[in-house]
C-alpha cells in the first residue's frame, strides 16, 4: 500500500499553504473560522496508543483541534484509545486503524501525530509528508542519522511542517536557564552537562506468547526478525522495546533527545554540530534489554566549548539532581522540569524578557504549550519551538554517543556532511539495513 498526494486544491493545502508561505504569519479572513465551518477544525490522527498516548490525546483540548483517528498494531490498545477520544469528543466518530498507512490515507486527517516505536519514526513521517500531512514526531527524531536526514528531505520536498516532540523547549525552566547562560549572568560559558537516568536492566525473555490481536510482524516492520518477549509491550511504565536495540536506543536516545537538546539550546549550539566525540559505556549482562545502562560522552565544538552527556554513576558527572547544568566562569545554572536554580543564588529571580526573539523565550509550561506552538505554526506561521533541523542535530549527538561506545575510540565528526572524518567503519553505523519490503526510498 502506498500513499499519494492528490492533485488539486485540497482542504489542507488551502488552509495551511506551503512551507514558504509559512515563513510569515498566515492571515485568513475571519469568515473562514465561523462556527461549524469546515476550515475551523484541524483534524489529527494519532499513530501509537501506548504509554505516551495519554499525553498525545490532549492535543484535542486546543480550541479548533479534534482527534479523528487512532492507530495501533494491537487491537486492544486501538480500541481503548478510541474510547478515550470518543469520551473527550462527546461522540463516537473516532476511527481506528491497525496500519498507519490507512490512517495516513484518510482524507479527513490533516495532521499525523507519531508515537510509534523509534524504528518506525522515519518511515511513518516520510509517508505522512508524502501525503501532504503536517507532522508531530515524538522523540527521538529518528532511529539513525541517515533516517533523520531522509525525514528532513521529505518534509522540505512536500512543504509541510514538522514539530519534534522535545517539549522541554516549551518549558520556562529550561528557557530561563538558557537566558541566564547566554545573557552573561554566569560569565563565559564553556561547558554544559546533560544528565540522563541510568538505563534499566532486565526484561524477561522467557515469556514469549504474543497477545491476541497484536500484529507483531507489522510492529517489527523494517527491523530484523526478533524473538518476541512479553515485557516488550506489557512492561509497566516504559515498554521493553525501548531497551531492545533493534527497536530503540534506550535511555541514550530517549532521555538524550530531551536533555542533550536542552544542553545545546543553553550552550547556543542549536545550529552547530560538535567536531569530536569520545564516549564509553556499559551494557546489561543479563535479561532481554541490550541498550546501554550507563555512559559518559564528551563532545567538543570547534571553539573548544564542551557538552558532556552522562549518567549519574560516572565519576565526572556532577552530583546535582538536574537534567542540565550550564557552567560559566563566575557560576552555574541548573534546570530540570520542575525547577531552575543557580550559583550564585538568586540569578533565577531576575526579571527576564518574555518576547526575546533571539532566544525565542516563552513563559510556557510544557506539553500542551508545545502542541499549541505547533498548531499556531500551522495556522498563523508562528516559529516552531522544536523544528526538525534542531531535532535531527540533537538526536544525532545521541546516536554519536552510541557509536562512540561501540567503536571505543575518539571520533571526528563533520556536521555539514553528517559523516565521520576518514572513518568508513564508523560511517557504516549511521544507518541500518531495512527488512524487505521496507525502504527509505
Query: Rounded to an integer, what distance in angstroms lies between the CA atom of residue 376 and that of residue 58?
Result: 16
For residues 107 and 265, give the distance between their C-alpha atoms in angstroms, rounded to a whole number. 37
Section 76-98 average pLDDT: 97
- What's the pLDDT tens digit per position in 10-63? 333 323 333 333 333 333 333 233 333 334 699 999 999 998 999 999 999 999
Q: Check: CB of residue 220 under 8 Å from CB of residue 226.
A: yes
- In tens, the pLDDT along 338-378 reads 899 999 988 887 666 655 544 444 445 689 999 999 999 99
Cell numbers for 129, please give them: 509528508
Average pLDDT in the chain:
89
* Alpha carbon distance 259, 188 (integer Å): 21
Instruction: Please state, as a whole number, how many other Cβ atoms lie within 10 Å of the Cβ of residue 346.
Output: 9
Q: Which of 154, 130, 134 is nearest to 142 (CA)?
A: 154
What number of residues does the chain have? 441
Confidence category of residue 172, pLDDT binned at 50, 70, 90:
confident
Contacts for 37 with CB less than 8 Å, ≥ 6 apart: 31
Please report, for residues 211, 270, 277, 404, 405, the alpha-carbon distance to residue 421 in angstroms, rounded to integers and kept in the order given.
46, 21, 12, 14, 17
Report how far apart the first and last C-alpha atoms of the chain are (Å, whole number). 14
Instruction: Please choose, from the candidates 300, 270, 275, 304, the residue with its C-alpha nearest in 3D space to the C-alpha of residue 384.
Output: 270
Beta bridge partners of 139: none
Q: What is the mean pLDDT of residues 326-342?
A: 94
At 349 the pLDDT is: 75
CA 370 to CA 170: how far, in whole Å?
6
Confidence at residue 5, expressed as pLDDT on a 0 to 100 scale: 30
pLDDT above 70 coverage of the chain, percent: 87
Q: What is the largest CA-CA distance in the chain?
A: 63
What does the block give as the cell for 401?
A: 554517543
- Give 6-10 contacts, CB < 8 A, sequence gap 24+: 6/107, 6/132, 10/132
Residue 4 has pLDDT above 60, yes or no: no
Averaged pLDDT, 393-402: 98
Burial of 272 (0-12, 13-18, 19+ CB in 10 A): middle
Express as a percent the part of the chain with pLDDT over 90: 81
Domains in the chain, ordered, with CATH? 11-167 (3.40.50.720), 169-201+238-366+388-430 (3.30.360.10)
Query: Which regions of 26-180 does DSSP assign to beta strands (E)?
Result: 42-47, 65-71, 95-97, 111-114, 134-137, 162-164
pLDDT at residue 347, as a whole number: 85
The answer, yes or no, to whether residue 279 has pLDDT greater than 60, is yes
The pLDDT assigned to 16 comes to 32
Model pLDDT, residue 280: 98
DSSP 168: G
Please tell me the predicted confidence (pLDDT) of residue 201: 95
The full DSSP string for 218-257 is HHHTTSPP----THHHH-SSS-GGGGSTTT--HHHHHTHH
Amino acid at each position: 500500500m502506498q500513499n499519494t498526494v492528490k492533485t488539486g486544491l485540497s482542504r489542507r493545502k488551502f488552509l495551511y499553504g506551503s512551507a514558504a508561505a509559512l515563513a510569515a504569519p498566515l492571515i485568513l479572513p475571519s469568515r473562514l473560522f465561523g462556527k461549524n465551518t469546515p476550515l475551523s477544525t484541524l483534524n489529527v490522527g494519532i499513530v501509537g496508543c501506548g504509554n505516551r498516548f495519554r499525553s498525545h490525546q490532549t492535543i484535542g483540548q486546543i480550541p479548533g483541534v479534534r482527534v479523528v483517528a487512532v492507530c495501533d498494531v494491537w487491537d486492544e490498545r486501538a480500541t481503548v484509545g478510541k474510547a478515550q477520544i470518543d469520551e473527550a469528543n462527546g461522540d463516537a466518530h473516532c476511527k481506528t486503524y491497525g496500519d498507519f498507512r490507512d490512517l495516513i490515507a484518510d482524507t479527513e486527517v490533516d495532521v499525523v501525530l507519531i508515537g510509534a516505536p523509534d524504528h518506525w519514526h522515519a518511515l511513518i513521517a516520510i509517508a505522512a509528508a508524502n501525503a501532504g500531512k503536517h507532522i508531530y514526531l515524538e522523540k527521538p527524531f529518528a532511529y539513525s542519522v541517515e533516517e533523520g536526514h531522509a525525514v528532513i528531505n521529505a518534509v522540505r520536498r512536500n512543504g509541510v511542517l514538522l514539530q519534534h516532540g522535545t517539549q522541554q523547549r516549551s518549558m520556562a525552566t529550561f528557557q530561563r536557564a538558557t537566558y541566564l547562560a547566554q545573557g552573561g549572568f554566569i560569565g563565559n560559558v564553556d561547558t554544559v552537562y546533560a544528565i540522563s537516568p541510568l538505563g534499566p536492566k532486565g526484561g524477561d525473555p522467557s515469556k514469549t506468547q504474543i497477545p491476541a490481536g497484536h500484529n507483531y510482524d507489522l510492529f517489527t516492520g523494517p527491523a530484523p526478525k526478533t524473538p518476541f518477549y512479553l515485557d516488550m509491550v506489557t512492561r509497566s511504565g516504559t515498554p521493553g522495546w525501548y531497551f531492545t536495540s533493534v527497536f530503540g536506543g534506550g535511555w541514550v536516545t530517549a532521555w538524550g533527545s530531551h536533555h542533550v537538546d536542552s544542553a545545546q539550546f543553553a550552550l547556543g549550539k542549536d545550529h552547530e554540530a560538535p567536531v569530536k566525540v569520545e564516549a564509553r559505556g556499559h551494557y546489561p549482562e543479563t535479561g532481554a534489554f541490550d541498550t546501554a545502562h550507563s555512559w559518559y560522552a564528551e563532545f567538543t565544538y570547534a571553539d573548544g566549548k564542551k557538552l558532556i552527556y552522562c549518567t549519574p554513576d560516572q565519576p565526572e558527572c556532577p552530583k546535582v539532581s538536574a537534567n542540565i547544568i550550564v557552567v560559566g566562569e563566575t557560576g552555574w545554572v541548573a534546570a530540570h522540569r520542575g525547577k531552575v536554580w543557580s550559583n550564585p543564588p538568586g540569578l533565577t529571580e531576575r526579571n527576564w524578557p518574555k518576547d526575546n526573539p533571539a532566544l525565542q523565550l516563552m513563559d510556557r509550561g510544557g506539553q500542551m504549550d508545545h502542541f499549541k506552538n505547533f498548531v499556531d505554526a500551522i495556522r498563523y506561521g508562528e516559529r516552531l519551538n522544536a523544528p526538525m533541523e534542531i531535532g535531527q542535530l540533537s538526536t544525532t549527538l545521541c546516536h554519536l554517543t552510541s557509536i562512540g561506545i561501540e567503536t571505543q575510540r575518539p571520533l571526528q565528526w563533520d556536521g555539514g556532511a553528517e559523516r565521520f572524518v576518514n572513518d568508513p567503519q564508523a560511517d557504516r553505523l549511521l544507518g541500518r539495513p531495512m527488512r524487505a519490503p521496507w525502504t527509505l526510498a
